[in-house]
């Protein structure tokens, strides 16, 4: 079976088996490890990192960190998978950690990093999308190939990548988990995505509430777009004449309705007097 079709479900252990390992039972000084430049994860949850640090203090690093020789500084090793364990080990004060040393290229290094994080659901939606985009931009993957590698549908990959079309300010809210993946999907394709995103964050809206808010804005936008210029002029003229808000809905066959808004009985009585005096 083609290894891409096996995808994410195989896990790191089987991928390690496909690569040449110089040593599978080794320890390396923490000071000789450097972060993976292909690491898709930018934000590490501080509470979870502290929990792992306490665990390592008690039981040590149970799962080896996967590394490769640094391509410039040959005294160093670049982390391929296990950066969180590396950070926790440093915080715990460990001098050495168990490692698996492998000989892999840049593509395989990125694949390892993506698989580890996606399997553990450690990436926010933006980091996940950026990982897939990097496979596409730097290693000539297409959506179908990413789909087979990750083990998710092509539509999932395409929808994930759509997040990258959002404004920078919205991407920052996603990256810092101030709005969720569900919120991000609602915002994709909106002209006012930044405005809606800030409303979601400020009002602590659920995804369903955000969807309702978007529908309201789309309804208003469509109403304004479809309003004929002559109807709009007449609507504004009536509003000025009677001092009350008027809305005219007119269809293509010139059927419709006129809505006049009043806020209290005085305004209603005034409207009735206007109608009586003229008709």
- Catalytic residue positions? 83
Per-position b or e across 180-206, b if 16+ CB within 10 A of its CB: bbebbbbbeebeebbebbebbeeeebe
From the list 37, 132, 31, 46, the residue with the least C-alpha distance to 84 is 46
How far is CA 268 from each of CA 236, 260, 261, 265, 273, rounded to the nearest angstrom?
Answer: 19, 10, 9, 5, 9
Answer positive or negative: Cα dihedral of 174, 177, 181, 187: negative
Strand pairing class (33-34; 20-29) = unpaired
Long-range contacts of 273-279 (CB under 8 A, 24+ apart): 274/242
Residues 40 and 118: their CA atoms lie apart, in Å, by 10
């Amino acid at each position: 079976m083609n290894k891409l079709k096996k995808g994410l479900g195989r896990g790191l252990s089987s991928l390690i088996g496909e690569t040449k390992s110089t040593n599978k039972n080794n320890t390396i000084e923490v000071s000789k490890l450097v972060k993976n430049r292909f690491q898709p994860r930018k934000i590490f949850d501080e509470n979870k990192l502290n929990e792992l640090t306490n665990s390592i203090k008690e039981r040590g690093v149970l799962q080896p960190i996967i590394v490769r020789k640094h391509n410039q500084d040959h005294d160093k090793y670049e982390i391929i998978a296990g950066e969180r364990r590396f950070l926790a080990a440093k915080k715990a004060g460990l001098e050495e950690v168990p490692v698996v040393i492998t000989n892999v290229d840049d593509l395989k290094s990125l694949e390892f990093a993506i698989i580890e994080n996606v399997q553990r659901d450690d990436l926010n939606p933006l980091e996940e999308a950026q990982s897939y985009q990097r496979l596409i931009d730097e290693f000539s993957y297409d959506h179908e190939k990413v789909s087979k590698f990750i083990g998710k549908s092509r539509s999932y990959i395409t929808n994930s990548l759509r997040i990258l079309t959002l404004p920078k300010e919205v991407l920052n809210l996603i990256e810092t988990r101030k709005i969720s993946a569900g919120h991000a999907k609602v915002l994709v394709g909106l002209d006012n995505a930044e405005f809606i995103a800030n409303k979601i964050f400020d009002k602590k809206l659920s995804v369903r509430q955000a969807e309702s808010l978007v529908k309201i804005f789309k309804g208003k936008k469509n109403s304004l777009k479809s309003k004929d210029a002559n109807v709009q002029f007449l609507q504004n003229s009536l509003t000025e004449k009677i001092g009350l808000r008027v809305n005219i809905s007119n269809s293509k066959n010139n059927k419709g309705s006129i809505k006049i808004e009043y806020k209290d009985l005085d305004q209603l009585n005034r409207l009735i007097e206007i109608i009586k005096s003229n008709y």
